[in-house]
Structure 1
């Protein structure tokens, strides 16, 4: 347990920030799932529009350093490849 006032405050801030980061990570996962769901339906145009709408969410969360920029890029690359490979 934190002994000084400063350490107690940092512990409070860390808890609050962790909750905020968890919320953003959840938003990221939801955005990815929306794209995957659109891909699984088989409608290429719907998948493209879903991808375009949710790419900004992925980039925004990467910019806030919730996930690494390369991980965001990897997600976008794989989702885009899945859309392009649709018949």
Structure 2
């Protein structure tokens, strides 16, 4: 348990920040799940729309420090490759 006033304040701040970050991470995952479901559905148009909606959300997570920059880049790259594979038959 926090004893000093400073450590008590830090505990409160951490609690608030954790809640905010959890909400942001959840929101990002929801957008990514929508892209995954669109890809699984096989509809290229819906998947492309979902990807366009997910990209700014994922990048916002990077600027807020919820997701690492390279992690976001990797996720976008892999998702966009899968969406592109839907549109252009191999």
- Alignment TM-score, normalising by the size of structure 2: 0.92
How much is the aligned-residue C-alpha RMSD, in angstroms? 0.8
Consecutive unaligned residues of structure 1, counting only runs of 5 or more, are none
Hey, what does 2:63 align to over in structure 1?
A: 63
Q: How many residues align?
A: 87
For residues 54 and 65 of structure 2, what CA distance do their matches in structure 1 show?
A: 17
- Work out whether 1:44 is the aligned partner of 2:44: yes
Consecutive unaligned residues of structure 2, counting only runs of 5 or more, are none
For residues 64 and 7 of structure 2, what CA distance do their matches in structure 1 show?
A: 25
Hey, what does 1:30 align to over in structure 2?
A: 30
User: How much has 1:50 moved relative to structure 2?
Assistant: 1.0
4+ runs deviating over 4 angstroms: none
For residues 25 and 49 of structure 2, what CA distance do their matches in structure 1 show?
A: 22
Hey, what does 1:7 align to over in structure 2?
A: 7
